[in-house]
């Protein structure tokens, strides 16, 4: 993934972040290497490796994965604060998603509004563990984690009560500003981006890259998709 980015090729992804250890869970960054499909974020680059990413097969697979994520969570873009800056939504547009395709799972997921600075909407969580990894390695706090098994997998906060308020989480943490969707939101300064000035309003994600409005400096640049 990093080799491809350095070479100017954008590979769609959600759970990868250049500052953190790769996870390999969203599977969007799958590429074809010698007929084998692998996740490019966990695959070490090798000399003379022939990698196919932007081919119809892969793009179709990615579209379906995005549609699975949409069906699994409860994503209502029109009312979501990060609409227009959401990486899941931007990839859906980029991959040409026009409909759900899979029946929504309509899972009941608990929210957490206990924290004075942060609001958690698990309906939008895609279980990428970016917050968990950032909380460990960037913030040294280990606040966020994943629990449960299979379709019951869910985001947890590592406190006695299970509430975010009882953790060391702060709005200034890296983890609070890494969510690729609208699951972890600050309680202050909401709805500041007007339509037209949002991250993916004027250019698609394969040009803009996987950014956040509040995270201007990143090596995670997007590039022209060749």
Contact residues toward other proteins (CB under 8 A) are 22, 24-28, 30, 37, 39, 42, 44, 61, 64-65, 68-69, 71-72, 101-103, 105, 126-127, 142, 145-153, 156-160, 162
Q: Which is nearer to other proteins, 48 or 149 (CB)?
A: 149
| In the complex, minimum distance from the CB of residue 38 to other proteins, in angstroms, rounded to a whole number | 10
Asked if 20 and 137 count as a contact pair (C-beta separation under 8 A), the reply is: yes
Q: Which is nearer to other proteins, 84 or 143 (CB)?
A: 143
Asked if 213 and 117 count as a contact pair (C-beta separation under 8 A), the reply is: no
Backbone CA torsion sign across 69, 126, 93, 80: positive
Q: Which is nearer to other proteins, 84 or 126 (CB)?
A: 126
| In the complex, minimum distance from the CB of residue 150 to other proteins, in angstroms, rounded to a whole number | 4
| In the complex, minimum distance from the CB of residue 69 to other proteins, in angstroms, rounded to a whole number | 6
> Could you tell me where the DSSP H helices lie in 48-123?
56-72, 87-94
Q: What are residue 209's DSSP bridge partners?
A: 221
Asked if 200 and 84 count as a contact pair (C-beta separation under 8 A), the reply is: yes
| In the complex, minimum distance from the CB of residue 197 to other proteins, in angstroms, rounded to a whole number | 31
Distance of CA 105 to the CA centre of its chain: 20
What's the alpha-carbon Rg for the chain, to the nearest Å? 17
Q: Which is nearer to other proteins, 77 or 156 (CB)?
A: 156
């Amino acid at each position: 993934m990093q080799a491809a980015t350095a070479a100017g090729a954008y590979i769609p992804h959600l759970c990868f972040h250049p500052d953190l250890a790769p996870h390999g869970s969203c599977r969007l960054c799958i590429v074809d290497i010698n007929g084998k499909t692998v996740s490019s974020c966990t695959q070490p680059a090798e000399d003379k490796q022939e990698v196919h990413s932007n081919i119809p097969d892969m793009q179709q697979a990615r579209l379906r994965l995005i549609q699975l994520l949409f069906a699994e969570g409860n994503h209502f873009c029109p009312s979501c604060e990060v609409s227009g800056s959401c990486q899941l939504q931007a990839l859906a547009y980029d991959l040409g998603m026009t409909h759900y395709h899979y029946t929504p799972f309509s899972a009941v997921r608990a929210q957490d509004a206990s924290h004075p600075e942060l609001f958690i909407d698990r309906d939008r969580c895609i279980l990428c563990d970016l917050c968990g990894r950032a909380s460990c390695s960037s913030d040294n706090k280990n606040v966020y984690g994943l629990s449960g098994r299979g379709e019951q997998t869910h985001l947890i906060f590592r406190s006695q009560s299970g509430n975010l308020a009882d953790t060391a989480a702060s709005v200034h943490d890296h983890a609070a500003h890494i969510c690729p969707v609208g699951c972890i939101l600050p309680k202050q300064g909401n709805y500041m981006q007007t339509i037209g000035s949002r991250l993916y309003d004027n250019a698609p994600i394969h040009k803009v890259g996987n950014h956040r409005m509040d995270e201007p400096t990143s090596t995670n640049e997007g590039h022209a998709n060749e």
